[in-house]
Structure 1
Amino acid sequence: MTDRIRAGVVGGGFMATVHARAITRSGGVLAAVVGSTPERSRAAADRLGAQACADDLDQLLATDVDVVHVCTPNATHAPLVRAVLAAGKHVVCEKPLAVDPTEAAELTALAAAAGVVATVPFVYRFYPTVREARARVADGRTGPLRLLHGSYLQDWLTGHEDDDWRVDPAVGGPSRAFADIGVHWCDLVEFVTGHRVTRLAARLLVAVPERGGRPVRTEDGAVVLFETDGGATGNLTVSQVSPGRKNRLWFSLDGEHEGLVFDQEAPETLWVGERDATTLLARGTSAHPGATRYDRVPAGHPQGYQDCFDAFVADTYAALAGDTPDGLPTFTDGLRAAHLTAAVLESARTDRWVDVTPTTAAPAGATP
């Protein structure tokens, strides 16, 4: 590799824009972009500020790139990642890693065999207030956790006229709301607590039965009850049809000594509750290095989603250089998300509690 990591991006939509910003802000070079057609490749390269465009993936892989960011519709992830790994490149793949656990397991094994860095952007891990919550659980301040609950709510598919490629299972996969945003909540709570969801019961919601003149075959929302290997019980509500909720990822962790609440729409503070007092702990006031490491600007200057993405890409690139950043989400975490999604779909289909297939990796949380 050169002194500056050279990155290629596959895709030219919203997520490609987010990745492109993070690449340059992390000190990398956006070397090449490829879209679905040569014309779209050129347009994406101009818009994203890439050094070059490629007519197809093979041409991109033949260029001088160290890492490839896959930012395309869900069903295309597996074949694209296979090609990237076969070329010996490091890879960042948008979530879901794959549309089913079998594909996700294959990609995880291929990445391990290739000896490359392979990450999935579960970027909400990179809020400093999330790292503070994780530290408080790890050092015992919360006490044993009893109840894990929360929601992830959006409203962008509320109307009958709202449509997107994610609604089509042939492109987006068999799950929409849970696979798209529910897995973010599960990843975040497992990361913070060190608990693993072991069994669950789920109900799916289809609020809009037809979009774009075709029947809807993926869920608009889900409600999940679950148990963990740490002895906690929990519940999660996921929705893409909740008016006024743009991106509200919210969790409450109720322990013996204190409770912790995080709200992604107000991430500058962490709510800490005790029997005799409640505190809003402001970002930038923690003494724990796991939290302060991700403080990008002085307290009082809000940080947000793009800052988290920048931190995720910076840690990925540090791993390319041989470092081992704490809490970096990898393909194993993408496989975990696929197992959770499969369990939710099976539970909703069979109307029963379902065991979640264990993922071969230690829990990400509880060791900041």
Structure 2
Amino acid sequence: MKNLLLLGTGTIAGMHLAEFGALHDCRIVACADSLPGRADAFAEKNGLLNAFESLDDAIRWGDFDAAINATPDGVHRITTLQLIDANKPVFCEKPLAPSFGDAIEMTDAAEKAGLVNMVNFTYRNSPALQMARQMVIGGAIGTLRHVEAAYRQSWLVSKAWGDWRTEPGWLWRLSRAHGSNGVLGDVGVHILDFACYGANDEVASLRADLVTFPKAEGDRVGDYALDANDSFSMTARLKGGALATILATRYATGHANDLSLALHGTQGAVKVETDGRSSQLFVSSGKGVDAHRWRRKNVPPTRRNARAFADALISGVNGEPSFRRAAEMQRIIDAAIVSAESDRTVVLA
């Protein structure tokens, strides 16, 4: 049995409890949170016997095999490096870090220490995405020519999640001074991984546009300057030659949390749709190509990220998505920011 420390007890922590709680050979035995009283309250609510008000205290205790890093984005680097220094494998929330420089430092440290390292790109859990990727790899749609990927949310319009105007928990996502890279850094990292993984290809060059819309008087709510991007769009050339169009927005009225991916090839196409809970795969192939018809394809369950991390801990062989993969996605994000600010195409080395 592998024992885990859950670092950070915010909203995402409940998802980790559910995911790892479903495993028979890996369990969360302790939590830590720097906000006074928060770890104790979380532990009592969820039946954990050990709670700590600092990572230092948890490491001194030390009775855990690995850690889940569910802290805010801006402290992923310092906390992950501290865990690596303590020789603890890490399963980190996305994005791995706010910049490529920080992400690659974390990657190099984990690899040098020989520690299992993974990042929770949750949409890898989509069976439809996994099947689409296998069809691309197997040549089922021929040579890939065009990729369309979109991540649509509407929480800047809808109050289904609460009201960002009155609930400070949302405001950090809208403020660069509070560690946000906007929708690009928050969910853009998901759709970039979704697109590149599904296409089994990588970005060679890109041109991006980032938009921050006026949302409040003076573009400010209290201490929060609302200056982080709300929508982004990108055109990219993939290394294999295909053209990709990728977007993410918080102003997709009518959409709660929807991802879509279309992969168009010379002999067919596949489309993936998911809301994070369920996913669907549609295929146009054979005679359907000439008739412009799509059919829904049944897909088998896939191994989820929590299971992959547990398997990596047990085998000692690193799983995917790894820190290095997450660092590469951050490199694309950094390039997109440069492209938008300079109004030019950026070539990735």
Normalised TM-score (structure 1): 0.85
Distance 2:95 2:63 in 1: 27
1:339 and 1:256 mapped to 2: Cα distance?
A: 30
Instruction: State how far apart, in whole Å, the 2-side matches of 1:37 and 1:182 are.
Output: 28
- CA drift at 1:293: 4.5
1:23 Cα deviation from its structure 2 partner: 1.8
Q: Which residue of 2 aligns with 1:344?
A: 336
Please identify runs of 4+ aligned residues in structure 1 that moved more than 3 A: none
Letter in 1 for 2:174: V
Amino acid at match of 1:185: I
Question: Larger deviation: 344-353 or 271-280?
Answer: 271-280
Whichever residue aligns with residue 82 of structure 1, its letter is L
Q: 1:115 to 1:323 in 2, by over 3 A?
A: closer
CA RMSD of aligned residues (A): 1.8
Q: Does 1:83 align with 2:82?
A: yes
Match of 1:42 in 2: 40
1:314 and 2:307 matched: yes
Match of 1:227 in 2: 237
Aligned with 1:270 (options 252, 277, 281): 281
**2:177 is aligned with 1:177:** no
C-alpha distance 29-196 of structure 1, shift in aligned 2 (>3 A): same
How far the C-alpha of 1:166 sits from its partner, in A, is 1.9
| Deviation sequence 1:57-99 (CA, Å, 0-9, x none) | 0111233111111111111111100100000001011111111
The answer to whether the 8 Å contact 2:209/2:339 transfers is yes
Q: CA deviation at 1:314?
A: 1.1
Matched, 1:168 2:172: no
Q: Is residue 145–residue 243 contact of structure 2 (8 Å, CA) maintained in 1? A: yes
Q: Which runs of structure 2 are paired with 1:150-169 in the superposition (5 Å)?
A: 150-158=149-157, 161=165, 163-169=170-176
1:283 to 1:30, Cα distance in 2 relative to 1, 3 A: same
Question: What is the CA distance between 1:51 and its match in structure 2?
Answer: 2.2
**Post-superposition shift, 1:355?**
1.4
Question: Amino acid of the residue matched to residue 29 of structure 2?
Answer: A
In 2, distance between residues paired with 1:46 and 1:211?
37
Is this contact kept in 1: 2:126–2:302, CA < 8 A?
no
CA distance in 2, matches of 1:21, 1:100: 29
1:107 and 1:171 map into 2 onto residues whose CA distance is 21
Distance apart, 1:324 and its partner CA: 4.8
Q: Which residue matches 2:31?
A: 33
Amino acid corresponding to residue 164 of structure 1 in structure 2: L
SS where residue 321 of structure 1 aligns? helix
Counterpart for residue 205 of structure 1? 211
User: Separation in 2 of the partners of 1:340 and 1:269?
Assistant: 27
Give the residue type in structure 2 aligned to 1:335: A
CA distance in 2, matches of 1:51, 1:76: 25
Q: What's the offset of the Cα at 1:240?
A: 1.2
Alpha-carbon distance in structure 2 between the residues aligned to 1:323 and 1:267: 31
Confirm or deny: 8 A CA contact 2:91 2:118 kept in the other structure: yes
Identical pairs, percent: 26
Distance 1:114 1:228 in 2: 32
Match of 1:330 in 2: 322
Q: Distance in 1 between matches of 2:174 and 2:34?
A: 20
**1:186 matches 2:192:** yes
Q: Which residue of 2 aligns with 1:19?
A: 16
Alignment gaps of 5+ in structure 2: 159-163
The superposition leaves residues 160-194 of structure 1 with CA deviations (integer Å, 9 ceiling, x where unpaired) of: 72643222323334x21011111111112211222
Structure 2 vs 1, CA of residues 217 and 321 (structure 1 numbering), >3 Å: closer, same or farther? same
Q: Secondary structure at the match of 2:108?
A: helix
Amino acid at match of 1:161: R
Q: In structure 2, the residue corresponding to 1:164 is in which secondary structure?
A: helix
8 A contact 1:73–1:171 mirrored in 2? no
| Matching of residue 118 in structure 1 with residue 150 in structure 2 | no
Match of 1:141, SS state, is coil
Residue 257 in structure 1 maps to residue 267 in structure 2: yes
The structure 2 residue matched to 1:10, chosen from 7, 11, 21, is 7
Q: Which amino acid counterpart does residue 221 of structure 2 have in structure 1? A: G
Which letter does structure 1 place at the counterpart of 2:204? T
Deviation at 1:334, TM superposition (A): 1.3
Q: 1:360: which partner in 2?
A: none
Shift of 1:122: 1.0
SS at match of 1:222: strand
- How many Å separate the matches in 1 of 2:144 and 2:205? 17
Write the letter of the residue equivalent to 2:265: G
- Kept after mapping to 2: 8 A contact 1:268/1:283: no
Q: Could you tell me how far 1:20 is from its partner in structure 2?
A: 1.7
Unaligned runs of 5+ in 1: 285-291, 295-310, 358-368
Q: How far did residue 15 of structure 1 move?
A: 0.9
Summarize deviations over 1:264-311 as a string: whole Å, max 9, x none: 138442110131342111234xxxxxxx554xxxxxxxxxxxxxxxx2
Q: What is the deviation of 1:323? A: 6.1
